[in-house]
Amino acid sequence: MTTMTTTCADTFDFFRAWLRAPLRVASIVPSGQALAELITSELTAETGPVLELGPGSGVFTRAIINRGVRESDLVLVESGAEFATKLAFRFPAAHLLQMDAAALRSVEIPQGWPVGAVVSGLPLLSIPVKKVMAILEGAFAQMGADGAFYQFTYGPRCPVPRPILDRLGLKATLVGQTFANLPPARVYRIRRRPARLAPAW
């Protein structure tokens, strides 16, 4: 199957998935290459295991691998059966978990890895606040102390509201934006805030 045929098939699958569950899929087309390169721009072979949430057709997955992360060091969390089947075929060495990302805290990551980074393709703006909190809590529970959560958005600001960041002790920083994606998108890096040292008396 040619790249163009694959792209057309993925676009059609996204459209069908969006028709069935617009809040879960949120976009009628897969993310573009420019966004994939931006959201993975800080990943390297030294990042370690990567947890990808909502990989869909695998656009970000392929970009993560191109950054030097081994396919066997990938854990793909996908709730949609229509996408999970394709991911299993395209990335057979990756660890595929067909589940809701909100249940991450209760899942044992393969081989007991501390995850170095999380790349999220989830439409956080269309997800209820309590579920967003569960996703973030679960993701950071699986990550090492220096791990980073990368999230894209089509909106003008971070899709995780400041009160949630404050409550979870997190800080969001804009990595960059791309107008080459349809629609234009921004990528944020979310990390734990440094622990404050108690004053010496």
Q: Strands 50-53 and 115-120, how do they pair?
A: parallel
State yes or no: pLDDT of 22 exceeds 70: no
Better-scored residue on pLDDT, 107 or 90: 90
Q: What is the mean pLDDT of residues 47-61?
A: 95
DSSP bridge pairs for 188: 151, 174
Work out the pLDDT band at 193, boundaries 50, 70, 90: very high
Task: Express each pLDDT in 130-184 by its tens digit.
Answer: 999 999 999 999 999 999 999 999 999 999 999 999 999 999 999 999 998 878 9
The conformation of residue 41, written as its DSSP 8-state character, comes to T
pLDDT at 17 over 60: no
Buried b (16+ CB within 10 A) or exposed e, 181-197: beeebbbbbbbbeeeee
C-beta separation of 8 from 2 below 8 A: no
Instruction: Delineate the domains of the chain, giving CATH numbers in brackets.
Output: 29-192 (3.40.50.150)
What does DSSP say about strands 143-153 and 74-77: parallel, antiparallel, or unpaired? unpaired
